[in-house]
Amino acid sequence: MTNENTSKDIEEKLSKASKTISRISSAVGKKVIGQEALRKRFITAIVTEGHILLEGVPGLAKTLAIKTLAEVVDCQFSRVQFTPDLLPADLLGTEIFRPDKGDFIVRQGPVFANFVLADEINRAPAKVQSALLEIMQEKQVTIAGQTFKLPDLFLVLATQNPVEQEGTYPLPEAQVDRFIMKVKIDYPSKDEEFQMLNSIREINSSEPTKPIVDTNELIEMRKTCREIYVDERIKKYIVDIVSASRNPSDPELKNYIELGASPRASIALYECARAEALINGDSFVRPEYVKDVSEDVLRHRIMLGYEAEAEGVSSEDIIEKLVDSVQVP
């Protein structure tokens, strides 16, 4: 196949992917007013086979957004409300005895779905969090010695509340690193909030949104994302940014950072930058795409020191300085 034919082929795939992305975003946007960045991150998670941790105060439509996304896609969806009394078996499933037949059968848990909403993940104890985070990585569950594969399209969308920390079990850094992105949800603008009031009937409608895409379309979109070209200079740029988090050139930043990002951060930046190119209809990754995703990819992977906390310096402030300190190719 000639370069011209290859170029034409990728352009056709990108065009098809753009239409699918637009349809999904539009359908979710009918119930979730604003939050365009969040809708974009949903697409990023789908095409990168990653998982997302959403953080925001109550009432910002985190659960509604995830539920609507699952309705838009013709797939299996399950919601698990994480509570202090939750057990791993409540999540993964268990073996149960049938007295009438005198044997045991495996009853699969709610994780056997395409989209799993882990609501308020920091409300459950460590053993439950660990069980979920393990299957996020392995994409399989072992129950009573039997191993069960999870669907090809498997996405965990976890939420946590940054306030009301009493009675919570914060995710350890080693476990939160399993999420490809940590997305912070902010308040809507005045115009968006006004629009919500005008659309309140549709937002509160009990009728589910009709599916407009199926899982096969999303898997095809994933394959297209893998064909997006990443230049060697962009790869070096990604590695330089992550490396800067471990050994910052600015002495002040050294005092603020206790632990830099792991190599998993480089992989996540690489994958998310390709997803950003796909969303923008580009067949190659531009430096600005790496910058656009760097905050959400790195904010939960950089551990702040006590000096940063004492001076009110956030991980976002540090990431901005780190990215600015690296030469753009």
Give the residue range(s) of CATH 1.10.8.80 domains in the chain.
Answer: 228-329
Res 172 pLDDT > 80: no
Q: Tokens at residue 195, please? A: 């629009």
Res 92 pLDDT > 60: yes
pLDDT at 208: 66
Q: Tell how strand 73-74 and strand 213-214 pair up.
A: parallel
Give the residue range(s) of CATH 3.40.50.300 domains in the chain.
Answer: 1-195
Task: Using alpha carbons, list the distances in angstroms from residue 56 to 63, 84, 162, 185.
Answer: 11, 20, 6, 5
CATH code for the domain defined by 228-329: 1.10.8.80
64: three-class secondary structure by DSSP: helix
User: pLDDT tens for residues 110-141?
Assistant: 999 999 999 888 888 888 888 888 788 888 88
User: pLDDT tens for residues 201-230?
Assistant: 766 665 667 888 888 899 999 999 999 999
User: pLDDT tens for residues 29-47?
Assistant: 887 777 788 888 999 999 9
Characterize 257-267 residue by residue with b for buried, 16 or more Cβ atoms within 10 angstroms of its Cβ, and e for exposed.
Answer: beebbbeebbb
CATH class of the domain whose range is 1-195: alpha beta
pLDDT at 212: 87
| 111 touches 78 (CB < 8 A) | yes
CA distance 94 to 276: 39
pLDDT at 203: 62
Of residues 22 and 192, more confidently modeled: 22
| 251 touches 263 (CB < 8 A) | no
CA distance 116 to 77: 6
